[in-house]
Chains A and B, each alone.
Chain A
Amino acid sequence: MEFFEAIWDIFSRDATYVIAALFAGLLVLAASGEWVAERAGTINISVEAMLLSGAFVGAIGYDITSSPIVAIGAGAIGGMIIASIQAEMSHRMAADQFVVGLTLNILVFGVAAFLDREIAPDVRLASTWDIPLLSDIPLIGQALFGQPWPFYLIYLVVPFSWWLVFRTRWGLELRAVGENPQSADVNAIDVNKRRRQAIYYTGFTSGLGGAFLILVQIGEFNESIVGGRGFIAIAAVIFGGWTLRGTIAGCVLFATALSFRLSLSGYDINSELLQSLPFLVTILGMAVFAHRVRPPVALARPFVRGLK
C-alpha cells in the first residue's frame, strides 16, 4: 500500500513532470535525428559523441557571446562536425560504421575532457518563457509550456523530421535507400550520399540536443553530462519500431523512468533496475514484436556498388 501511495504522491506533483520533460527533450532531439539516419539504413552510434560535441561547442559559443541563440547555432555546428567525420568515413571511405562511431565516442570524450580543463567555458540556463494559458494546464502545463525557451525547439524539430521523411522527394529517396539500396542505386539515387545527408541531419539535431543540455537542463558543462543518453536515444528508435511516433513514445517512457531516480530519491527504489530499464524494455519489445515490427531492410549494411 505504501508503495502505491508513494507512486500517487509522485504523479500528483508538478515537479515530476517537469523533470521528466527535461529528460525527454534531450532524448527527443537526438532520437528524431537518429530515426532519420536509421531509416536511411545506417546505425549511427556516435550520437553520444554528437551530443557531447554539441554541448561543448555550444558552451564555447555561449562563453564568447553570452547569447543562447549563438550557443544553439554553435551546438548544431558542433554536432555536424562529428557527423561529417562519421558520414565521410563510413559512407564515402567505406570504413566500418561501428568502428567509426565507437572511436568518435571515445575521441570526443577525450577531447572534451582535455579542452574543458584548458578552456572551462562558462554557461548559464536560458531564460524561462511561460506560454500563456497553456502553461496553466494542471500537472503537465509547466512541464511542456513553462520551460527555458530552447525547450520549444522540440516542437519544431519533431514535425520537421516527419515532414522531411514522409512529405519530400528527398525523404522518399531516403527511405528507398534504407529498404533496398540496390534498386535505389539503379534508379539513379546516390545511396551513400543520402546516407551521408541523413547522418548530417542526425548531427544537426543532436547538436541542438547538446545545446539543449547546457541551456535548458543543466546550465554548466563537464565531459560527463551526456552520460550514455545517446545510447538511450538509439534504444528509443529501436523501441519505437522505426516509426517516429513510437520513437517519441519511447523517449517519453525512458525519460520518465530515468527521472524517477531524481523524483523518487526519498524512496528505496532499485536504481540499477531503473537505469537499465530503457535497455531491458527495448530488448523485450524487440523480442516480443520482432515479427510484427520490421527494421529497415538494409539497416547497418554498407552499400558498395556491385557488391551485395
Chain B
Amino acid sequence: MSELDIARTSAPDSAPPSRAARLGEWIGMYTVSVLVALTVSAILVEATGGDWRPVMDALVDGSVQNPGRWGETLGVAAPMLLVALGVVVSAKAGLINIGQEGQLAIGAAFAVYFSFLIGGPGPLNVVILLLAGALGGALWAGVAGVLRFWRGVPEVLSTLLLVTVAGQAVAYGLRKSSLLLADEASRGNRNQVSEQLAPDNRLPRPDIFGNEFPITVYIALVLAAFIAFMLARSVWGFRLRMLGQNQRTAQRAGVSQRQYGMVALMIGGALAGLAGAAMFAGGEFSFGNYRLVPGFSANIGWTGLLVALVARERALAAIPVAFAFAALRTGSGFVAATGVESRITDVIQGLLVLALLMPPAVMFILDRRRVRAVSAART
C-alpha cells in the first residue's frame, strides 16, 4: 500500500507531465515494485534461517548463466507465450477465458492420440500432432463458447469449471489403452503414462551457442508478431477490438458477437492446445520426456494466463514477461541445491505478479487526480 501513499502525497496541481516524465514515472514505479517484491522474498528467506544471496545466485545460474540454461528457459517460455497470446486474442474481444490450463491438457491429449493413431513419416507427423493439439484446445474452448453464446452461461465460470474436468478426462484417458495408455511392454511398471514419441516425430531442437531449444520458440515468436499485427492493423482485429470495447457499437457496425466471439475464444483455446502439443513434442524433461503423464500441464496454462495479464494484454509485451516467468521456473531447480525449499520461487513469482499489478493501478489513480486537478483549476 506504500505506493498508494506516494500517490496521495504527490498529487500534483499543475499541468499534466510531459511524455518523457511519464515514461520516467512508469519505469520508476516498475523498478520500485520489483525491488519491493524481491526484498520481501529475501526477508522471507532470511527470517526462516536461510541466506538470500545464494538463492538469487542459483536463480540466475539456473535460468540464464550456466551453460545450456537459457536454451532451457526459452523452451519453457515458448508454451507460456503461446498460451498468453491466446489470452490476448480472447481478451481483446472482451471475453475472459481463464481455462487455459484445461485447454492445454486437452490439446496435449489430442496431440498424443492422433499422432499415434495416424502415425506417418517424421515431419508430417509433427505437423499433424501440432494441428491436433490446436484442434483439441479449440474444441474445449468451443464448449465454453457454445455455452456462452447459445445458452448465456458466462464464459468466466464455464472455462474455470472446465479446467478440472479436462484434467480428469486426460487422467481417465491415460487409464484406457484404447485411448492414451501405452501398452505394457513400453511403459514397464508405470501406471498412467502414454507411449513415448519416436525420435523422428519430435520437434527439431537446433543447437545455438551450446543452447538447445525446440523450434516452438520460433513458432511462438512469429505468432506473437503476427497476432500483434492482426490485432492492430487488420479489419478483423479492428472488429474484434470494437466488440471488446463496446458491444453495442459493434452490433450496430455489423459485427456478429456470436461469430467473432466464438472465433476469438476458439483461437485462444487453439493456442493453448498448441502449447500443450508443443510441450509434448518439444521435450523439456520437466514436461514428461515425450510422454503424456497425469499433471502434464504443470501450471503452464495458469502461468501463461498470468503472463498475458501482467503484459496487460499486449502480444509483444508478453514476450519478455514469458521469459522472466520461465526463468523463475528453470531457476527453481537450482535453488533446491542451496538448502532452501525450492517452493520459494512460487512465492517470488506470486509477489512479482502482485508487484507488477501495482504500477498500472497507481497510474490510473494518479491520472484521475491529475484530470480532477486540471478541471478544478479551470473552474
Q: Which residues of A contact B (CB under 8 A)?
A: 43, 45, 85, 88-89, 92-96, 98-100, 102-104, 106-111, 113-115, 117-118, 228, 231, 234-235, 238, 270, 272-273, 275-276, 279-280, 282-283, 286-287, 290-291, 295, 299-300
By a beta-carbon cutoff of 8 Å, the part of chain B in contact with chain A is 1, 4, 44, 48-49, 96, 98, 147, 151-154, 156-158, 160-162, 164-165, 168-169, 171-172, 175, 299, 302, 305-306, 309-310, 341, 343-347, 349-351, 353-354, 357-358, 360-362, 364-365
Residue among B1, B96, B156, B350 with most chain A CB within 10 A: B350
**Are A270 and B165 in touch, CB under 8 angstroms?**
no
Task: Kindly identify which residue among A45, A85, A276 contacts B354, using a CB–CB cutoff of 8 Å.
Answer: A85
Residue contact B362 to A93, C-beta cutoff 8 Å? yes
Complex contact B168–A287 (CB within 8 A): no
Residues of A near B96 (CB, < 8 A) are 98, 300
In the complex, are the beta carbons of A287 and B361 less than 8 A apart? no
- Set B160, B162, B165, B309: member contacting A99, Cβ < 8 A: B309
Interface centre among B44, B302, B346 (most CB of A within 10 A): B346
Check A291–B152 contact: CB distance below 8 A: yes
**Interchain residue pairs A-B with the least CB separation, the first 7:** A107-B350, A110-B346, A93-B361, A276-B168, A272-B172, A272-B168, A110-B347
| Beta-carbon contact of A99 and B153 below 8 Å | no
> If the complex has contacts A93-B358, A300-B96, are A279 and B165 also in contact, measured as CB distance less than 8 A?
yes
Tell me the complex Cα distance, A291–B354, Å. 37
Query: Complex formed: what's the CA distance from A291 to B151 in Å?
Result: 8
Contact of B343 with A100 in the complex, beta carbons under 8 Å: no
Interchain CB contact under 8 A, B361 and A283: no
Q: Across the interface, which residues of B come within 8 angstroms of A113, CB to CB?
A: 341, 343, 346
A6 to B365, CA, bound (A): 62
**Residue of chain B at shortest CB distance from A294:** B152
Q: Are B364 and A273 in contact (CB under 8 A)?
A: no
**Knowing A107-B354, A114-B343, A276-B164 touch, does A238 contact B152 (C-beta < 8 A)?**
no
Contact, CB under 8 Å: B153 / A287: yes
Q: Is the CB of A93 within 8 A of B4?
A: yes
Q: Give Cα distance in the complex from A106 to B298, angstroms.
A: 12
The reply to whether B347 and A107 form a contact with Cβ atoms under 8 Å apart is yes
Show 19 A/B contacts (Cβ-Cβ < 8 Å), sorted by A: A93-B357, A99-B309, A99-B357, A100-B354, A100-B357, A103-B306, A104-B350, A106-B299, A106-B306, A107-B354, A110-B344, A114-B44, A114-B48, A114-B343, A270-B172, A273-B168, A279-B161, A286-B153, A295-B154
- Chain B residues with CB below 8 A from A238, complex form: 157, 161
Interface of B is mostly: helix
A33 CB → nearest B CB, Å: 18
Is B343 within 8 A of A283, CB to CB? no
Contact A106 to B350, CB < 8 A, known contacts A114-B48, A272-B168: yes
Residues of chain B with a CB closer than 8 A to A299's CB: 154
Choose among A43, A93, A95, A273 the residue that contacts B156 (Cβ–Cβ < 8 A): A43
**Contact of A109 with B346 in the complex, beta carbons under 8 Å:** yes
- Contact partner of A300 among B147, B154, B358, B362, CB < 8 A? B154
**Complex Cα spacing A292 to B55, Å:** 55
| A99-B306, A118-B49, A231-B160 as given contacts; A106 in contact with B151, CB under 8 Å | no
Min CB distance B343 to A, Å, is 4
Chain B residues with CB under 8 Å of A108's CB are 350
Provide the residues of chain B in CB contact with A282, threshold 8 Å: 161
Q: How far is it, in angstroms, between the C-alpha of A291 and the C-alpha of B152 when the chains are bound? A: 8
Question: Please, which residues of chain B bring their CB within 8 A of the CB of A103?
Answer: 306, 350, 353-354, 357
Q: Which residues of chain A are within 8 angstroms of B361 by Cβ–Cβ distance?
A: 89, 93-95
Contacts A276-B165, A300-B96: A114 and B354 contacting too (C-beta < 8 A)? no
CB–CB B161/A235 < 8 A: yes
Asked if B156 contacts A231 (CB within 8 A), the reply is no
- Residues of chain B within 8 A of A98, CB atoms compared: 96, 98, 156, 309
Q: Which residue of A lies closest to B246 (CB)?
A: A308
Which of chain B's residues have a CB closer than 8 A to the CB of A273?
Answer: 168, 172
Establish whether residues A290 and B152, one from each chain, have CB atoms under 8 Å apart when the complex forms.
yes
Give the CA-CA distance A104 to B302 in the complex, in Å: 12
Interfacial chain A residues near B147, Cβ < 8 Å: 283, 286-287
Docked-complex contact A114 and B341, CB < 8 angstroms: yes
Residue of A100, A102, A299 most packed against chain B (CB within 10 A):
A102
Contact A114 B152 (CB under 8 A): no
Q: How far is the CA of A88 from the CA of B302 in the complex (A)?
A: 23
Chain B residue nearest to A43 in the complex (CB): B156
